[in-house]
Amino acid sequence: MTLKEFVLKEDNHFVAMEYYNLIMNRTFLVLVTHEKLIALKVNGMVSIESGGNILANEMVKSLVVRGDLSNPYSYVKEKYIRDIENTDFLSDEVLNKHKGSFVISRNDIKSAWHNSNKKWGMGYYPHDGRVYVETAQGEKKELIILGNQSGEEIVNMIYKK
């Protein structure tokens, strides 16, 4: 199934960010199917504008999200979507397109929970804390819930089969 064929509904996807390597981040469109959580990378590094330093602002200009920051789709870059929209997201090919994308089998999910505390480093970007997903294998994902989305509703979505 391709992204073009998948009908996005309120209860089958969300937009989240993940930090990695301490200060790096990437944004995902997470599709929730009956069998899997499929996290498709839809944006690379995001930053905030710095205080007033003109040079620093120029350096991060392309990393700043603009528009309605409460709208989770504002964090999605069209070029990432175009690159994967015709790729079968149930295949391994989509994971090879953008490093960082991942799949978790819903049968492997041991627990999921919401921490409503704000994530340090998110600056002025609105978010509803973090959703954690832990697998039976001991892997844990921390997903920052971007914009106007509910972390509690996302946890319920993950548990609902």
pLDDT digits (tens, 9 = 90+) for 61-108: 888 898 999 999 999 999 999 999 999 998 888 888 888 999 999 999
Structure tokens belonging to residue 96: 């090879």
Instruction: Say what the pLDDT of residue 54 is.
Output: 78
Q: Which CATH number fits domain 13-159: 3.40.50.300, 3.40.640.10, 2.30.30.280, 2.30.29.30?
A: 2.30.29.30
pTM for the whole structure = 0.93
Instruction: Say what the pLDDT of residue 161 is.
Output: 67
| Regions of the chain with pLDDT less than 50 | none
Please give the Cα distance from 143 to 132 (Å, whole number): 6
Q: Listing from the earlier edge strand, what are the strands of the sheet with 102-105? A: 102-105, 36-43, 24-32, 13-20, 140-146, 127-135, 109-115
Please give the Cα distance from 60 to 90 (Å, whole number): 34
What is the 8-class DSSP label of residue 107? G
Instruction: Say what the pLDDT of residue 15 is.
Output: 99
Domain boundaries defined on the chain? 13-159
